[in-house]
Amino acid sequence: MTTSNTSLADTTTNITHSPLRHDWSVAEIEALFALPFNDLLFRAQTLHRQFFDANTVQVSTLMSIKTGSCPEDCAYCPQSAHHDTGLEKEKLLAIENIMTEARAAKEKGASRFCMGAAWRSLNDRDVDYIVELVSGVKELGMETCMTLGMLKEDQAKTLKDAGLDYYNHNLDTSREYYGDIITTRTYDDRLETLKHVRDAGMNVCCGGIVGMGEDRSDRAGLLYELATMAKHPESVPINLLVQVEGTPLKGVEALDSFEFIRTIAVARILMPASYVRLSAGRENMNDETQALCFLAGANSIFYGEKLLTTPNPEADKDMQLFARLGLQTEATSCSEA
Ligand code: SAM
Ligand code: DTB
Ligand code: SF4
């Protein structure tokens, strides 16, 4: 049998000595996707072990600090004001309520607390509140992550000075497919915020969603954008679309589980030093699929019964799965950017 692997051989065999690559081509990435499943997983797991403890998973708990009525039209999102999803919208929550959730998350074993707001962009009038929140959660000894929409350069610096460890801002899909999913802001808007985050010295958390009706070339295109950044995102969340009634993507054909696992494996190979997070969508995955994701190099999850607005597996269920797989949770993973 002929394979297209030969041209890829030296991209992952000499891994101990090779620096991280930032010059991937879409064709090379598509060739990785096309590898026999066992070869792909073996390659991803081998590389994973060069950079990480293969039996340790970082766990982050997510909380929505401002829910619903977002002006953006993201076709996947239950929080967009453009879609009638029946979601109860909420005002920005009181800091003490958020701190109570953060303490509970810490007690259950989360090392990072991620806070999300259904905003197009951070408004200057909310910056003091956000800064106070970051300091409060940091004082608990947890890492902090925020996802608040677009940031200006000075806002990114202020968040960094406040001690924010990570900023999450996803590219979501390929540049080509993006316009089918979101029309109210551009791919370049997203990249500009990511530049501000990187320049301010924060860790970048950037990934996307699969299972939105895109094809494999779009999944490769998303990973291409991430893997060719001058510095890879420290954290790469791979979300499987959570289909929500009332969103335009409700009813789209479900992605084959093996294709999801392949996406994780390719992300691991392209960005071997980054945390690859098995993100939204675990509620609809069986234990075996999740185990294969860990084998493919996923080493981070969202932990706790809720994502932002949709359900996530119960913490106890995740702990049982970790015990069955002999996985440990990581105490802290924060590296200074
Ligand atoms: N409004 C901010 C923004 O869009 O950057 C922050 C919050 S937004 C909900 C954060 C991310 O959640 C999105 O970029 C998207 O990748 C993910 N997301 C939202 N709805 C989702 C869904 N139904 N399934 C999977 N991921 C989803
Ligand atoms: C990310 O990549 N996934 C998280 C987090 N970053 C903010 C959000 C998932 C949201 C899933 C739909 C919901 O619960 O509203
Ligand atoms: Fe708003 Fe973010 Fe949802 Fe898009 S993904 S609609 S920007 S909350």
Distances in Å between the Cα of 242 and the Cα atoms of 78, 101, 235, 285, 308 are 9, 23, 20, 11, 11
**Locus of tokens 């929409």:** 149
Q: How far apart are CA 90 and CA 105, in angstroms?
A: 21
**Locus of tokens 């890829």:** 8
Give the number of other CB atoms < 10 A from CB of residue 252.
16
- HSE at residue 308, side-chain half, CA atoms within 13 A, is 26
Q: How far apart are CA 144 and CA 58, in angstroms?
A: 13
Q: Mean pLDDT across the stretch 113-125? A: 96
Strand partners, 117: 66
Atom of ligand 1 nearest to the CA of 118: 1
> Of the ranges 74-78, 110-114, 185-189, 247-251, which one carries the lowest mean pLDDT score?
110-114
Q: How far apart are CA 331 and CA 308, in angstroms?
A: 23
Which comes out higher in pLDDT, residue 139 or 11?
139
Give the tens place of pLDDT for each residue, 17-73.
457 999 999 999 999 999 999 999 999 999 999 999 999 999 999 999 999 999 999
**Locus of tokens 């929140």:** 133
Ligand 2 lining (C-beta closer than 6 Å)? 62, 78, 116, 147, 168, 170, 207, 237, 239, 242, 279-280, 307-310
Q: How far apart are CA 199 and CA 152, in angstroms?
A: 11
So which residues are the catalytic ones?
Answer: 70, 74, 77, 114, 145, 205, 277
Q: Rounded to two decimals, what is the model's pTM? A: 0.91
Give the tens place of pLDDT for each residue, 60-98.
999 999 999 999 999 999 999 999 898 887 888 888 899
Q: Can you list the pairs that 153-156 forms with residues at least 24 positions away whose Cβ atoms lie under 8 Å?
A: 153/196, 153/199, 153/200, 155/122, 155/124, 155/127, 155/196, 156/193, 156/196, 156/197, 156/199, 156/200, 156/202
Q: How far apart are CA 161 and CA 305, in angstroms?
A: 31
Ligand 3 lining (C-beta closer than 6 Å)? 70, 72, 74, 77, 79-80, 118, 120, 149
Which letter does DSSP use for residue 6 in this model?
G
